[in-house]
Structure 1
Amino acid sequence: MIVDESIARPIAASEAHTIEADVAIVGAGLAGSLARAVLVRAGYRVVLIDKRTVPPDEFRVEKIGGRQLDLIRQLGFINDLEAVGAPYNRVLNIRDGKVVDISVGQAFGLSYASLVGMARGLLSDPTSFLIDQVTGISCSDDRQQLELASGKRVTSRLVILATGMASPLAYSLGIKRRMLAERHSVSFGFTIARPDNAPFEFDALTAYGERTADGVDYLSLFPIADGMRANLFMFRDPTDPIMRELRRDTKRTLLRLMPGLQRYLGDFDVVGQVQSWVMDLSVVEGHLQPGVVLIGDAFQTNCPAAGTGVSRLLVDVERLCTDHVPRWLETEGMGADKIAQFYSDQGKLAADRHSLDMARFRQALTLNNDARWSARRKLHFLRRMITHRVDRIHPGWVTRVRGALR
Structure 2
Amino acid sequence: MTTDRTVSEPIAAAGGVTIATDIAIVGGGLAGSLAAAVLARAGHRVVLVDKRAVYPDEFRVEKIGGHQLEAFRRLGFIRGLESAACPYDRVLNIREGKVVDVSVGQAYGLSYADLVAMARSQLPDPSSLIVDEVTAISCSDDVQHLELASGRRVTARLIVLATGMSGVLGYKLGIRRRVLAAGHSVSFGFTIARRDGAPFDFKALTCYGERIADGVDYLSLFPIRAGMRANLFMFRDPADPIMRDLRRETEATVLRLLPGLQTYLGDFRVVDRIRNWVMDLSVVEGHLQPGVVLIGDAFQTNCPAAGTGVARLLVDVERLCIEYAPRWLMTPGMSREKISEFYADRDKIAADQQSLKMARFRQALTSRDDIGWDVRRRLHFLRRSITHRVDQMRPGWLAHVRSALRA
Shared fold, TM over 0.5? yes
Which range moved further: 116-125 or 243-252? 116-125
Distance in 1 of aligned mates of 2:84 and 2:144 = 36
C-alpha displacement of 1:391: 0.4
C-alpha displacement of 1:197: 1.7
The aligned residue for residue 344 of structure 2 is: 344
Give the letter for the 1:261 counterpart. Answer: L
Give the letter for the 1:116 counterpart. Answer: V
Distance in 2 of aligned mates of 1:236 and 1:129 = 39
Q: Is the CA contact (8 Å cut-off) linking 2:324 and 2:342 kept in structure 1?
A: yes
The aligned residue for residue 204 of structure 1 is: 204
The aligned residue for residue 167 of structure 2 is: 167
**Residues 1:79 and 2:112 are matched in the alignment:** no
Map Cα deviations across residues 179-201 of structure 1 (whole Å, 9 max, x no partner). Answer: 10000000000111011221100
Q: Give the secondary-structure state (helix, strand or coil) at the position aligned to 1:210.
A: coil
Distance in 2 of aligned mates of 1:404 and 1:354 = 25
Question: Which runs of structure 2 are paired with 1:238-277 in the superposition (5 Å)?
Answer: 238-277=238-277
Q: Give the secondary-structure state (helix, strand or coil) at the position aligned to 2:274.
A: strand
The alignment's C-alpha RMSD in Å is 1.1
Distance in 2 of aligned mates of 1:20 and 1:405 = 51
C-alpha displacement of 1:16: 7.3
C-alpha displacement of 1:124: 4.3
Which range moved further: 16-25 or 346-355? 16-25
The aligned residue for residue 291 of structure 2 is: 291
Map Cα deviations across residues 120-155 of structure 1 (whole Å, 9 max, x no partner). Answer: 111241221100111111100000010111111100
The aligned residue for residue 8 of structure 1 is: none
The aligned residue for residue 318 of structure 1 is: 318
The aligned residue for residue 111 of structure 1 is: 111
The aligned residue for residue 101 of structure 2 is: 101
**Residues 1:49 and 2:49 are matched in the alignment:** yes
- Which TM-score applies when normalising by structure 2? 0.95
C-alpha displacement of 1:377: 0.4
Give the letter for the 1:189 counterpart. Answer: G
Distance in 2 of aligned mates of 1:331 and 1:125 = 26
C-alpha displacement of 1:158: 0.2
Distance in 2 of aligned mates of 1:282 and 1:317 = 20
Distance in 2 of aligned mates of 1:249 and 1:374 = 31
Same amino acid, percent of matched pairs: 72
Map Cα deviations across residues 86-117 of structure 1 (whole Å, 9 max, x no partner). Answer: 00000000000000000000011011111111
Distance in 1 of aligned mates of 2:146 and 2:255 = 51
C-alpha displacement of 1:372: 1.1
Distance in 1 of aligned mates of 2:371 and 2:195 = 44
Q: Is the CA contact (8 Å cut-off) linking 2:15 and 2:151 kept in structure 1?
A: no
The aligned residue for residue 39 of structure 1 is: 39
The aligned residue for residue 141 of structure 2 is: 141
Q: Give the secondary-structure state (helix, strand or coil) at the position aligned to 1:33.
A: helix
Give the letter for the 1:339 counterpart. Answer: I
Distance in 1 of aligned mates of 2:364 and 2:15 = 55
**Residues 1:328 and 2:328 are matched in the alignment:** yes
- Which TM-score applies when normalising by structure 1? 0.96
| Equivalent residues, number | 394
Q: Give the secondary-structure state (helix, strand or coil) at the position aligned to 1:272.
A: coil
Distance change (3 Å), C-alpha of 1:74 and 1:16: farther
Query: Once superposed, which parts of structure 1, at least 4 consecutive aligned residues long, lie more than 4 Å away?
Result: none
Give the letter for the 1:365 counterpart. Answer: L
Q: Give the secondary-structure state (helix, strand or coil) at the position aligned to 1:88.
A: strand
Distance in 1 of aligned mates of 2:402 and 2:249 = 44
Question: Which runs of structure 2 are paired with 1:149-160 in the superposition (5 Å)?
Answer: 149-160=149-160
Distance in 2 of aligned mates of 1:27 and 1:161 = 7
Which range moved further: 201-210 or 188-197? 188-197
C-alpha displacement of 1:404: 2.4
Q: Is the CA contact (8 Å cut-off) linking 2:145 and 2:153 kept in structure 1?
A: yes
Q: Give the secondary-structure state (helix, strand or coil) at the position aligned to 2:58.
A: coil
Q: Which runs of 5+ in 2 are unaligned?
A: 1-13
Distance in 2 of aligned mates of 1:18 and 1:245 = 52
**Residues 1:218 and 2:213 are matched in the alignment:** no
Distance in 2 of aligned mates of 1:403 and 1:112 = 34
The aligned residue for residue 11 of structure 1 is: none
The aligned residue for residue 4 of structure 1 is: none
C-alpha displacement of 1:56: 1.5
Map Cα deviations across residues 212-237 of structure 1 (whole Å, 9 max, x no partner). Answer: 01000000000000100000000000
Q: Which runs of 5+ in 1 are unaligned?
A: 1-13
Distance in 1 of aligned mates of 2:67 and 2:102 = 18
Q: Give the secondary-structure state (helix, strand or coil) at the position aligned to 1:362.
A: helix
Distance in 2 of aligned mates of 1:337 and 1:125 = 32
Give the letter for the 1:363 counterpart. Answer: Q
C-alpha displacement of 1:15: 8.1
Distance in 2 of aligned mates of 1:125 and 1:404 = 46
The aligned residue for residue 399 of structure 1 is: 399
Give the letter for the 1:377 counterpart. Answer: R
Distance in 2 of aligned mates of 1:121 and 1:276 = 28
Q: Give the secondary-structure state (helix, strand or coil) at the position aligned to 1:290.
A: coil
